[in-house]
Amino acid sequence: MVKEIERFGLPVVHVCTVVPISMTVGANRIVPAVAIPHPFGNPALDVKEEKALRRKLVEKAMKALQTEIETQTVIE
């Protein structure tokens, strides 16, 4: 899906836990996620902490979307 949307001309950020698979399938902008069962959150945190974590991840992804890249890049 990442590749097909990019082929259409829109930049895509792939937020995913297993970065090597994302690299193998050819995503260009990759943001590492939390864990496979809960990529965008962490049930071990309390509500406030988890909201902060989620916001940080989304903001990082938004920034990655605007970042100029030359090759496949992992944005930590």
Partner 1 sequence: MKLELGKVFIEDVQFGESTHLDGRILVIDHAELLEAVSGDEHLWKIRVDLAHPGESVRITPVKDVIEPRVKVKGHGGIFPGMLSKVDTVGNGRTHAMKNVAVVTAGKVVGFQEGIIDMSGIGADYTPFSKTHNVVITAEPKAGIKPHDHEAALRTLGLKAAAYLGQAVKDVEPDEIKTYETLAPREAAQLYPELPRVGYVYMLQTQGLLHDTYVYGVDAKKIVPTIMYPTEIMDGAIVSGNCVSACDKNPTYVHLNNPIIEDLYEEHGKTLNFMGVIITNENVTLADKERSSNWTAKLTEFLGLDGAIVSQEGFGNPDTDLIMNCRKIEEKGIKTVIVTDEYAGRDGASQSLADADPKANAVITNGNANEVIVLPPMNRLIGTTAYVDSCAGGFDGSLRSDGSIEVEIQAITGATNETGFVHLSADAY
Selected range binding partner 1 among 35-43, 44-52, 53-61, 63-71, rule: CB under 8 A: 35-43
Contact residue for partner 1 among 4, 8, 24, 47 (CB under 8 A): 24
Contact residue for partner 1 among 15, 34, 57, 64 (CB under 8 A): 34
Strands 29-32 and 13-16: parallel
Does the footprint of partner 1 cover residue 43 (CB under 8 A)? no
Give the ranges where 1-76 is alpha helix by DSSP (H): 2-7, 19-25, 47-65
How distant, in Å, are the alpha carbons of 6, 14, 48, 74 from that of 9?
Answer: 5, 15, 37, 20
Selected range binding partner 1 among 6-14, 30-38, 49-57, 58-66, rule: CB under 8 A: 30-38
